[in-house]
Amino acid sequence: MNILLIGCGKMGGAMLRQWAKDAENSFTVADPVKHDLPAGVRHVSKPTSLSEAEFDVILIAIKPQMIADVLPDYVFALKPDGCFVSIAAGCSVATISGIVGDRAIVRVMPNMAAMVGLGVSGLYANDACTEQQQSDVTAWIGQTGTCVPVDSEDRIDRLTAISGSGPGYVFEILRSYVAAAMDIGFDEATARALVFDTITGTVETARQSDETLEDLRKSVTSKNGTTQAGLEQLMRDGQLDALLHDTVHAAYARAAELK
Ligand SMILES: NC(=O)C1=CN([C@@H]2O[C@H](COP(=O)(O)OP(=O)(O)OC[C@H]3O[C@@H](n4cnc5c(N)ncnc54)[C@H](OP(=O)(O)O)[C@@H]3O)[C@@H](O)[C@H]2O)C=CC1
Ligand SMILES: O=C(O)[C@@H]1CCC=N1
């Protein structure tokens, strides 16, 4: 496929890093600034440098608030049977088709772990998409990690609050955990190694186990032992559950505001 990325910042750039490893598709980036692009990727700074009906896919990877201003100038560059793919949070198919007309539109919500090929993406295709377009886009997004098709836009917004924004929550939890490890006496390098390896190992243990997460937690927690003492603080007054509940609901509510 011949693919145009409108915007190549943190998220578009992370995905492009994976895609560029595969020679299957060719990429053009339209972005006012030429970021550090992988070899073989063409850069244009303005839409007038493009030809009519050049692309099979146009990936919208700019901020949702910019789409109404920027996207109209690029519509001509998509082939008549091409497909718009948007990774913009919240921005609905209705908003995009209000700009591009009744065209094939796919909403994808990736996450930052795409940078290392371990991303999680949700994908919703509108009725104008053919089965071939859906499977082509699903396979393409799958090059950045797992790709989960969903059957409504609302699921994309809910998924945004879990996996799209998720790396932001996890980076903050990691930061705080590393800070606590340093506070108890480890240097930063050791603190990072202890925390990262504990989290990676714990996630893999949970993934490979048939036990519930609660049972796994209990398997670590000796009666009157160290873990119980720690968990009594972490879980006090149900604050952790409340905090995570409020976190994902706030992100979901924000997606609705960005429609
Ligand atoms: N960051 C993340 O983890 C995720 C982001 N997303 C979505 O991805 C989209 C991009 O977010 P993110 O990558 O974080 O943001 P960035 O600001 O890093 O990327 C946006 C890019 O668009 C460029 N840009 C600005 N104006 C134009 C223009 N007129 N034409 C073309 N490109 C332009 C920006 O350039 P400059 O910097 O010079 O202004 C920048 O390189 C958003 O819609 C967001 O909702 C989705 C999932 C996860
Ligand atoms: O914060 C945002 O709006 C984007 C969408 C998901 C992650 N980053």
Q: Report whether residue 160 contacts ligand 2, using a CB cutoff of 6 Å.
A: yes
Spacing, Cα 6 to ligand 1 middle (Å): 9
Q: Ligand 2, residue 167: give the atom nearest the CA.
A: 7
| Long-range interactions of 161-167: CB distance < 8 A, separation 24+ | 161/248, 161/249, 161/251, 161/252, 161/255, 162/248, 163/109, 163/111, 163/120, 163/121, 163/122, 164/89, 164/109, 164/110, 164/111, 164/122, 164/251, 165/111, 165/251, 166/111, 166/120, 167/111, 167/112, 167/113
What value does the mean pLDDT of the chain take? 97
State pLDDT tens for residues 94-136. 999 999 999 999 999 999 999 999 999 999 999 999 999 999 9
Reported as a single tens digit per residue, the pLDDT across 57-88 is: 999 999 999 999 999 999 999 999 999 999 99
Strand ranges of the sheet holding 42-44, from the earlier edge strand across to the other edge: 42-44, 26-30, 2-6, 55-60, 78-86, 104-109, 119-125, 145-149
Ligand that comes closest to the CA of residue 86:
1
Instruction: List pLDDT tens digits, range 214-232.
Output: 999 999 999 999 999 999 9
In angstroms, what is the span from residue 196 Cα to ligand 1's centroid? 28
Regarding the beta carbon of 31 and ligand 1, being less than 6 Å apart is answered: yes
Q: What is the per-residue pLDDT across 7-49, written as a single tens digit (0 to 9) for each?
A: 999 999 999 999 999 888 999 999 998 888 999 999 999 999 9
Residue 250 has pLDDT above 90, yes or no: yes
Q: Looking at the domain 166-257, which fold is it?
A: ProC C-terminal domain-like fold (1.10.3730)
C-alpha–C-alpha distance, residues 240 and 67, integer Å: 36
pLDDT (0 to 100) of residue 22: 84
In the prediction, which pLDDT does 247 show?
98
Q: Where are the beta strands (DSSP E) in the chain?
A: 2-6, 26-30, 42-44, 55-60, 78-86, 104-109, 119-125, 145-149
Over residues 50-61, mean pLDDT: 97
Fold held by 2-152 = Rossmann fold (3.40.50)
**Of ligand 1's atoms, which has the minimum distance to the CA of residue 11?**
13
> What was the pLDDT predicted at 85?
98
| Domain limits, the chain | 2-152, 166-257
> What per-residue confidence (pLDDT) applies to 35?
81
pLDDT score recorded for residue 98: 97
Q: Given this model, what pLDDT does residue 34 score?
A: 85
Nearest alpha carbon, ligand 1 atom 24: 7
- pTM of the predicted protein model: 0.95
Plot region of 237 (φ>0 → left; ψ -120 to 50 → alpha; else → beta) = left
Q: Per-residue confidence at 239, pLDDT binned at 50, 70, 90?
A: very high
9 lines ligand 1 (CB under 6 A): yes
Ligand 1, from 4, 8, 10, 95: best to mutate by most atoms within 8 Å of Cβ?
10
Residue closest by Cα to atom 8 of ligand 2: 165
| Interface confidence: ipTM more than 0.95 | yes
